[in-house]
Amino acid sequence: MDQFISDFLVGKNFQQLATNFVPHYTTLVSKVGGIISPENLGRIQAALKEANLKDVADIIEESLMAAENAPLDVAVIGESGTGKSSFINALRGVSYEEEGFAGVGVVETTMKKTPYQHPKYLNVTFWDLPGTGTPNFHPREYLEMVEFATYDFFIIISSSRFTLNDAFLAQNIKEIGKKFYFVRTKVDNDLYNEEKSKPTSFKRERVLQQIRDNCLANLSHIGVPEPRIFLVSNFDLDDFDFPILEETLLKELPVHKRYTFVLLLPNLSDASIEMKRAFLKEKIWLDALKSSALSFIPFMACFDGFDLPQQEKCLNLYQSHFGLDENSVKETAKKLGMSVEEIKSFTKSLNFWLLVKDDSIIARAMNCVECYCSVNGGLPSTLFQFLKIYILHLKFINTVADDAKILLVDAYGVTDVHGGGCSSDLLLV
């Protein structure tokens, strides 16, 4: 059981809890940061100090609501044919001929700004903006035309050298107070061409460094200070700099938008699965802390009962976040040339009953309730149900995330499945 929640339920030493709160929270959150803003962390700490538990619960609730409902609008711009629409399709996990696929082609295809909603996370929209490569390009007019203020950040895409137009655009985006990131696409093509033309001297890392240096020199030359460039292939998002781009965006997004962004990351790398795991675990910890705070307030309804259909729905949601929902498993099975049954044989999260029947969940919940009773007297069955749900949800998240990593190895040959806080932290529950 989480130490802070245990201390909270049994202790009532709120001065001490106020002191421990931020250090404990910091150990829980992902390396890119958490869901609660520094300002709200300070407010929660102050409320704890005064044992104002209603405020503690309210601030957590406010932060969770903001995180879950935050809209995210991403503008993707660059010259025609650089791979903007392909990048958007790859981020949305939509493949050719699927409904909602952004038109891609060898001739100019995107002529006006077009919104593409994420198929799973409906509050996320990618904006495919028209090409910027015309000779009479005026960045300010262009930005006005595409209504720049409505986007959270811009991704400027190039498939060769970044141009003067890209630099003008970056400068203007900066002046209007928005963030931008440079993405250099089609590096798979460059590697292929270099290997074909220089088979004996070809070195992958050297070619990538040359592309990076060239983009950097080009952007610095045209006046972009310290440009950051991410090399990607839209056909192979788990390779090259895409994982670093994900991490950078997460770190730099406003706190309340991080949760929305982390959920939409494709489950293509160890790092993105771990970040999702951390955010989801943080969310249920915050929910548990909120419920614990409310449990001290008389007549406050704070615990839902243990309802099996509701728990199954919750597991299904986590499966969907990690690409283990029914449709995704069918697709993965097809990709691996296996049956769905075979996938079920080496994963654990697809069997709801097996997860729910785990006796150790009851034992751990009982253990905590006994500590509570020894201090507070009585045995509130609602508290027992609440602890059971909290422990079960942690188990759901850890099992689904571990399975996502197993499938990653099988589907993409990624080998580092044991890195970074895997199922072992289940033991800490």
Ligand X SMILES: Nc1nc2c(ncn2[C@@H]2O[C@H](COP(=O)(O)OP(=O)(O)OP(=O)(O)O)[C@@H](O)[C@H]2O)c(=O)[nH]1
* List of residues contacting ligand X (CB under 6 A): 80-86, 104-106, 108-110, 131, 185-186, 188-189, 233-235
Interface residue with Mg ion among 85, 132, 267, 295 (CB under 5 A) is: 85
110 makes contact with Mg ion (CB under 5 A)? yes
Of the pair 37, 160, the CB lying nearest ligand X is at: 160
Report, in Å, the least distance between residue 117 CB and Mg ion: 16
Of the pair 79, 403, the CB lying nearest ligand X is at: 79
Q: Where are the alpha helices (DSSP H) in 322-357?
A: 326-336, 340-346, 352-356
Contacts of 90 (CB under 8 A, 6+ apart): 234, 235, 237, 266
- Which DSSP string do the residues of 256-309 spell out, in sequence order? HHHHHHHHHS-S-SHHHHHHHHHHHHHHHHHHHHHHHHHHTSTT--------HH
Report, in Å, the least distance between residue 250 CB and Mg ion: 26
Of the pair 186, 321, the CB lying nearest ligand X is at: 186
Measure the N-to-C terminal CA separation of the chain; round to a whole number of Å.
4
- Identify what 186 binds: Mg ion, ligand X, none; CB under 5 to 8 Å per kind: ligand X
Report, in Å, the least distance between residue 160 CB and ligand X: 12
Query: Are the C-beta atoms of residues 166 and 220 closer than 8 Å to each other?
Result: no
Q: Where are the alpha helices (DSSP H) in 70-203?
A: 84-92, 139-145, 164-175, 187-197
Report, in Å, the least distance between residue 77 CB and Mg ion: 11
- Identify what 281 binds: ligand X, Mg ion, none; CB under 5 to 8 Å per kind: none
Of the listed pieces 9-17, 82-90, 202-210, 308-316, which binds Mg ion according to CB under 5 A? 82-90
Of the pair 82, 328, the CB lying nearest Mg ion is at: 82
Report, in Å, the least distance between residue 229 CB and ligand X: 14
Interface residue with Mg ion among 6, 37, 109, 316 (CB under 5 A) is: 109
- 163-197 as b/e: b if 16+ CB within 10 A: bebbbbbbbbbeeeebebbbbbbbbbebbeebeee
Report, in Å, the least distance between residue 156 CB and Mg ion: 14
- Identify what 256 binds: ligand X, Mg ion, none; CB under 5 to 8 Å per kind: none
Q: What sign does the dihedral 266-270-273-278 (CA atoms) show?
A: negative
Map residue 157 onto helix, strand or coil: strand
- Identify what 227 binds: Mg ion, ligand X, none; CB under 5 to 8 Å per kind: none
Amino acid symbol at 379: L
Residues that bind Mg ion (CB under 5 A): 85, 109-110
